[in-house]
Amino acid sequence: MKIAHVLIPVVALAFAAGASAQTKIWRCGNTYTNDEAEAKAQKCKLVEGGNVTVVQGTRVLNAAPVSTARPVTAPRVDAGEQKARDSDAKAILEAELKKAEQRLADQQAEYKNGEPDKLGPETRNHQKYLDRTAELKASIERTEKDIAGLKRELGRNGAAAAAK
């Protein structure tokens, strides 16, 4: 008897869901409607072959009205302070460039044009040697790209300073 009591509400729910799925839905641009008269008046297209789920958007309670005021801008910096900032930035970039160039020189010395010295276990396992050689090459390429980027940035910094 318990099974019959459970099945009746489930069957009724299934019929109700099937009945609501039979209503026609029209698409009117970015909106949807199930009102046939409204759909014909707006020349909407009937949506077929799929389920349409409409989710109501949330509304912000007690939202402040949108302001039409101008956006806040950063305060102006005087020319002397800006020159000091520019020279600090240039000094930092030059220091980074010098470190990157030193790192490149060290990497190239270790790489030895594609024939670095073999280390302990690499004498017995040639694949480890090949892997380390490939890593060194990739590291050299990354460092070269870093140097090129730093030089580009220094060029921009110099061009910006010359424009002022």
pLDDT tens sequence across 58-115: 776 766 666 666 777 778 889 899 899 999 999 999 999 999 999 999 999 999 999 9
d(CA 125, CA 54) in angstroms, rounded, equals: 63
- Res. 7: pLDDT tops 70: no
The candidate with the shortest Cα–Cα distance to 44, out of 52, 53, 36, is: 36
- pLDDT score, position 18: 47
Please indicate whether residue 119 or residue 73 has the higher confidence score (pLDDT): 119
- pLDDT score, position 34: 83
CB 157 within 8 A of CB 89: yes
Residue spans per domain, the chain: 12-47, 79-163
Which of 6-15, 80-89, 140-149 is modeled with the greatest confidence?
140-149
Mean pLDDT score of the chain, rounded to an integer?
Answer: 80
DSSP string, the chain: -HHHHHHHHHHHHHHHHHHHTTS-EEEETTEEE--HHHHHHTTPEEE-SS-----PPP--TTPPPPP-SPPP-PPP--HHHHHHHHHHHHHHHHHHHHHHHHHHHHHHHHHTTT-PPPPGGGGT-HHHHHHHHHHHHHHHHHHHHHHHHHHHHHHHHHHHHHH-
- pLDDT score, position 125: 93
**Could you tell me the pLDDT band of residue 130, with boundaries at 50, 70 and 90?**
very high
The token duo for 75 is: 């305060």
**Could you tell me the pLDDT band of residue 3, with boundaries at 50, 70 and 90?**
very low
